[in-house]
Structure 1
Amino acid sequence: MQSTQRESFPSEFGSCHVCSNHHGLICKYGLNMCRQCFCQYVKDIGFIKLD
């Protein structure tokens, strides 16, 4: 029996608040953004890259 899209990605995992993507979701610190949007808005959020 094959799993459906709904079973593979339950609603409890949520989606990106920017683009509604379900893949690569970063939920830590309450970000709830996909990794692509995180890279795009990293400076606006206030994260800095450490060496």
Structure 2
Amino acid sequence: MSHESVYFSRPRTYGKGARECRVCTHKAGLIRKYGLNICRQCFREKSQDIGFIKVCPVTSTTSTTMLRPTQQSTI
């Protein structure tokens, strides 16, 4: 039995070996959420085309300064 006859001899139906990026067929770093099945590198390139937008979170220092005027009560 040579290496060629043994290599990839069993079918890959589950696990990491069965999944690949639908763009570049890379097997590592897959984003499987929402059925994307795209590697993280391709996701960074194609995210605008897919419809994802980057949302910057509000930091804690700016959120407290933004909320202060509305939280003050007059007694």
TM range (shorter): 0.7 to 0.9
Query: Which structure is higher in RCO with an 8 Å CA cutoff and minimum separation 6?
Result: 1
Q: Deviations over 1:16-46 (max 9, x none)?
A: 0000000100000010000000000010000
Q: 2:45 aligns with which of 40, 45, 48?
A: 40
Contact 2:17 2:27 in 1 (8 A): no
Structure 2 match to 1:26: 31
* Aligned length, in residue pairs: 44
List alignment gaps of at least 5 residues for structure 1: 1-5
Identity of aligned residues (%): 53
TM-score normalized with structure 2 length: 0.53
TM-score normalized with structure 1 length: 0.76
List alignment gaps of at least 5 residues for structure 2: 1-11, 57-75
- Which 4+ stretches in 1 moved above 2 angstroms? none
Radius of gyration: which is bigger?
A: 2
- Given residue 35 of structure 1, which amino acid in structure 2 is its aligned partner? R
Give the RMSD, CA atoms, in angstroms: 2.0
